[in-house]
Chain A
Amino acid sequence: MRDVLVALRKDLLLQWRGRAQVVAIFTFGAATLLLFSLAIGPDSASLRQHAAGFLWLGLLLASTLSLAEGFEREMEEQALEGLLLLPASARALYFGKAIANCAQLALLGAALVPVTVVLYDAGTTRLLPLGGVILLGTAGLSAPGTLYSAMTAQTRGRHTLLPLLLFPLVVPVLLAAVKATSLLILGDPMGQLRPWASLLAAFAVLHWALGGLLFARVVED
């Protein structure tokens, strides 16, 4: 547990020092939201109806940049090999990095919400459940994203490979997060929020467990 906290502190510190990159990724996400709204046109009812989908698509596209960045830094000066020589398990390194990625993505998601409110007129007063959905959704994105970015950062064509591997895998996260966010924005008369949130949680639990189990094989061989 202490190893995980130390790894998390290291990754959060790296993210803080590279905060210009985080701002650039946020600007990219906001730009995609602007472009998606242009694709729909000025009809405010349509914009509001599609807001949740575009918020999560913007976040998904921005997440590939953020996830790829996390491991590319470890490839410089063979930092990853140095980390593996430390008396800490690879699993601790994985959880540290995945939690840091999840925190960064959740922050990015929270920052994109006001942009969505302004561009799509899609506000909600249920901020706590919205925060919960963003946290569960980004947890689902960051677990397989961290595992795959560890592989793709070491290959040629890494910028193509990460989205190619990640996007089909996170279809359930996209569906459940879009549905849950839509229910928060447009109203939930049938009480469907809980099953979608449970699906997000089930996905996150499965992929965090798989990631923790398999990460050592990815970096140590």
Chain B
Amino acid sequence: MAAASQSRAPVLLVASGAALLCIGSYWGLAKAPAEVYMGDVQRIMYVHVPTAWNAMLALTFAFACAVAFLVTESWKWDNRLEAAIEMGVVLSLLLCTQGAIWAKPTWGVWWDWDPRLTTTAVMVFAFGGILALRAFVDDPMKRAVWSAVACIVAFADVPIVYFSVRWWNSLHQAQSTPETVSKAFHSPLRINAFGILFVCTGLVALRARVAGLRLRSEIAPPLPEQKASGAAARAAGSAS
């Protein structure tokens, strides 16, 4: 257990992900050709699309952790749930920011009420709310169960949010998949996707470890009375 918690694998994963991200970004910014209609603005796709994939992956993993916690009641799933929700919220926020940076020169507006944009914004608030709930509950068991329940409810809500906004209004271009993207753009896109995946996986593992340590301090029994009084007596003795 001690060896596992000391494992350097997450750090190595983050480092290798960062290296991949550097290679992919250099390729995307300097080597890959510019897109015919959008020009250099399109190059934000090399981080935007992988961020979108990984944000969905992180929140899906959070949902899996929530279900696993309610079934097994093993604390490791609660630790992973906390880490995955945080990662999902951060990636979704990054996604909205990158989208706004791309939308201004392309659509002429920072924001549009398009289904995917609005759904991502709703996910930020829905899962951000769960993080706030965690911060307000002191009892570890209640915190774990409630955030797992809230995570399942919020995740089940995502498709309905998406379809309701899609019926309401639509402007976003078709989803980017290898079929809709030119072959010249594939390599940097894939390298960055794996780069962000490795960085996120490493960070989620490290964050889950931190959550585990905090949990250990929360549910640890209080220091025995005897030891505290013994220490006080020793201190008094040495002072006299």
With A147-B149, A155-B137, A214-B149 as known contacts, state yes or no: A172 contacts B125, CB within 8 Å: no
Which residues of B lie under 8 Å from residue A202 when comparing CB positions?
160
Which residues of A lie under 8 Å from residue B142 when comparing CB positions?
154, 221
Within 8 A of A (CB), among B157-185: 157, 160-161, 163-165, 167-168
| Docked CA distance A147–B148 (Å) | 13
Contact of B160 among A156, A164, A199 (CB under 8 A): A199
Does B129 make an interface contact (CB < 8 A)?
yes
Contact of B145 among A164, A175, A221 (CB under 8 A): A221
B153 touches A147 (CB 8 A): yes
B145 touches A207 (CB 8 A): no
Closest to A152 in B: B133
- What DSSP secondary structure best describes chain B's contact surface? helix
A172 touches B133 (CB 8 A): no
Does B141 make an interface contact (CB < 8 A)?
yes
| Docked CA distance A82–B152 (Å) | 28
Contact mask for chain B residues 128-144; partner A; CB cutoff 8 A; 1 contact, 0 none: 01101100110001100
Does B122 make an interface contact (CB < 8 A)?
yes
| Docked CA distance A214–B26 (Å) | 48
**Min CB distance, B42 to chain A, in Å?**
30
With A164-B129, A218-B145, A221-B141 as known contacts, state yes or no: A199 contacts B164, CB within 8 Å: yes
A217 touches B156 (CB 8 A): no
B130, B132, B163 pick with most chain A CB within 10 angstroms: B132
| Docked CA distance A165–B146 (Å) | 12
Does B154 make an interface contact (CB < 8 A)?
yes
Residue contacts A-B, CB under 8 angstroms, 9 given: A144-B153, A155-B133, A157-B136, A164-B129, A172-B161, A172-B164, A175-B165, A210-B152, A221-B142
